[in-house]
Chain A
Amino acid sequence: MSKVDLRITPSRSVLPASQEPQLLYALVELSAQSGATKMPRLPLNLCLVIDRSSSMRGERLQQVKQAAMQILDLLGDHESFALVTFNDRAEVVVSAQLARARAEIKRQISAIEAAGGTEMATGLALGVQELQRAMMPRAVHRLLLLTDGRTYGDEGRCVEIARRAQSRGIGITALGIGSEWNEDLLETIAARENSRTHYITSAAEITKIFTAEVERMHNIFAQDVHLRAMLPSQALLRSLDRVRPYIGPLPVIEEADFVWTAALGDWPENDVQALLMELVVPPLPVGRHTLLRLGLRYRTPGSDGATASHEQVLTVTTRNPDEVSDEVDPTVKHWLERLVAYRLQASAWQAVEEGKLEEATRRLQMAGTRLFEAGEIELARTVQEEATRLLRSGQASAEGRKRIKYGTRGLIGREGQS
């Protein structure tokens, strides 16, 4: 049985007593420590949906085929594998089946050739259908999508298909390679529980990222993870964002007065998860106060769907303002700085869309400043360059935009590093 460690670090543990509401940031870290007994592994029901448009020709497709074969070798005899390709139309190359006739499946994979355009929706639909054919009662259902091109006219359908699949418990990993694909679409597709997106900057990374993703899916030790935050009267949870393993907003629901919940999906054991909360604290007198009661609830795979839970409490001290320093916790500040950079670049692209180039440039430059301060020097330079390019030419480069969007979220080829 794994043990869960839940830790809350506030930006300040001593607050000035005040007549005004004030803001407190709290970093919530979730980590799992493996116990002595090995966790039972949930079987995987996996479908690869691969773009085989002509731009995939050469090293990219070669790497994809190799990755698909390696994944097949990672699967056990009771796990399901399927592979769908798409260009102008979609085709089931390997229909959903237990990973047993490996030689035959590999032969089918090696026969894939690149040609034609990119039409993603039909490919996604076929992939979801294959997964549903192999629906096992207690399994992890995942669709792994790889594309290098822009799909035209069927973006809406792609999102619709993805949402329907996600509501049935199928998680989607959307991978983009090269500089032509539509990062807005992939981000939208992946903006749900158990789904993520990643930017593959070179074909050489394909195998590594594919297999790392399958390994994550194999190590799920808690499912349906729910977080519940109980705040004192008049306090407010202003925002909740995931900051590790990658940055992105988490939707919260105010379940009752001063009680908020968020769904975190499945949890692969090796992922350290960290969330950043912004709490608006009501005016407080001098003394000790409980500001946050945090509950974590999840199902463990081996235990017939039994739920487990954990609780953690955050207390702070309030003192006279002149006894309180301005110091903030450096770890909280670091992740907040990264989060602010992510938000700034997101609002910069929004401003570009609205034709507000000056505003967009300003936001990008501030994002660069934040990244610079957070020690992300290389990314800060990329942001600065795109800001300059935007100001000069009125548009950002397709590659720079992707590097910034995925880089600020920690989603470029740095698995296990952040």
Chain B
Amino acid sequence: MVICSHCQAQQLDGTIFCTVCGASLIHARSTRQTTASLNRAAAEAPQLDGDDATIVPAPATKTESATIALVVLSSGRRIVLPVTSELVIGRKDQQRNFFPDVDLSLDGGYDAGVSRRHARIVCHNGSYVLEDLGSSNGTFLNRQRVSPDRPVPLHHGDEIQFGMLLVRFETNG
């Protein structure tokens, strides 16, 4: 039995793509031991019920300190982050000892073509810019491609696409 790391469905050994959500199970299997704890963490993270017609969580809940959030539209995962001067978005790679601030490997990042160092969000005086870090499959802001050498301003509600993975950017400020 294999557990799909994307939707947690049980699948027969030998399954290449999950029959429930369609995610690739090939790489899930080879990294099973190392991601075991992360899978548990992902299971505890807020997840949309597969059968519910829920709309993506409403933006901007008031909290004390300034935070930004990335909402992964495919999984419904909401990644809340403290505001720091720089946030690197990508996929973690334990063999190369690389850990981005935002790890999209749990959201099907590998399948969606997210690079290890894909993009970064830089905060300066309360405004944000998005910069592509030379990713293989590109970064798109509201469907416009972001060139690697040209950071673009980022606003609350913008849609960012890392490779094929669609994410909404939210601020509470």
Contact = CB atoms under 8 A, between A and B. Distances in A.
Interface in A359-392: 359, 361-363, 365-370, 372-373, 380, 384-385, 387-388, 391
Contacts of B54: 358
User: For the complex, would chain A's binding face be called helix, strand, loop or mixed by DSSP majority?
Assistant: helix
Contact of B17 (A24, A280, A370): A370
A408 to B, nearest CB: 12
Nearest to A336: B16
Contacts of A16: 13
A26 to B, nearest CB: 12
B23 to A, nearest CB: 7
Interface in B123-173: 143, 159, 161, 163-164, 166
Given A24-B14, A280-B12, A384 B53 contact: no
A21 B74 contact: no
Contact of A358 (B1, B13, B48, B113): B48
A358 B55 contact: yes
A352 B30 CA distance: 35
Interface residues of B, number: 37
A361 B73 contact: yes
Contact of B74 (A11, A365, A372): A365
Contacts of A363: 21-22
A367 B17 CA distance: 11
B15 A23 contact: yes
**Most chain A beta-carbon contacts within 10 A, residue among B17, B26, B112:** B17
Contacts of A341: 22
Nearest to B76: A358
A158 to B, nearest CB: 32
A326 interface: yes
Interface in A50-83: none
Contacts of B17: 336-337, 340, 370
Given A20-B1, A362-B74, A366-B108, A388 B166 contact: yes
Contacts of A367: 22
A373 B24 contact: yes
Nearest to A21: B12
A355 B14 contact: no
A11 B14 contact: yes
A253 B91 CA distance: 45
B3 interface: no
A328 interface: yes
Contacts of B159: 388
Given A21-B12, A24-B14, A373-B111, A355 B53 contact: yes
A356 B53 contact: yes
A366 B16 contact: no
A15 interface: yes
Interface in B12-64: 12-17, 21-24, 26, 29-30, 48, 50-56
A359 B52 CA distance: 8
Given A365-B73, A367-B22, A380-B164, A333 B16 contact: yes
B41 to A, nearest CB: 21
B52 to A, nearest CB: 8
A22 to B, nearest CB: 4
Contact of A22 (B14, B56, B111): B14
A16 B13 CA distance: 10
Contacts of B164: 365, 368-369, 372, 380, 384
Contacts of A369: 22-23, 108, 111-113, 164
Nearest to B48: A358
A278 B11 CA distance: 13
A388 B108 contact: no
A374 to B, nearest CB: 11
A11 B22 CA distance: 17
B53 A25 contact: no
A281 B111 CA distance: 27
A337 B108 CA distance: 15
Nearest to A364: B74
Contacts of A281: 14
Contacts of B55: 357-358
Nearest to A387: B166
B129 to A, nearest CB: 22
Contacts of A12: 14
A239 to B, nearest CB: 10
A333 B27 CA distance: 13
Interface of B: 1, 11-17, 21-24, 26, 29-30, 48, 50-56, 73-76, 108, 111-113, 143, 159, 161, 163-164, 166
8 contacts: A12-B14, A20-B13, A23-B15, A25-B16, A343-B22, A358-B76, A363-B21, A384-B164
Q: Which 4 A-B pairs have the closest CB atoms?
A: A22-B13, A22-B14, A23-B14, A366-B22
Given A333-B16, A357-B53, A361-B74, 7 more contacts: A18-B13, A23-B12, A328-B26, A362-B74, A363-B22, A365-B164, A366-B22
Interface of A: 11-12, 15-16, 18, 20-25, 280-281, 326, 328, 333, 336-337, 340-341, 343-344, 355-359, 361-363, 365-370, 372-373, 380, 384-385, 387-388, 391
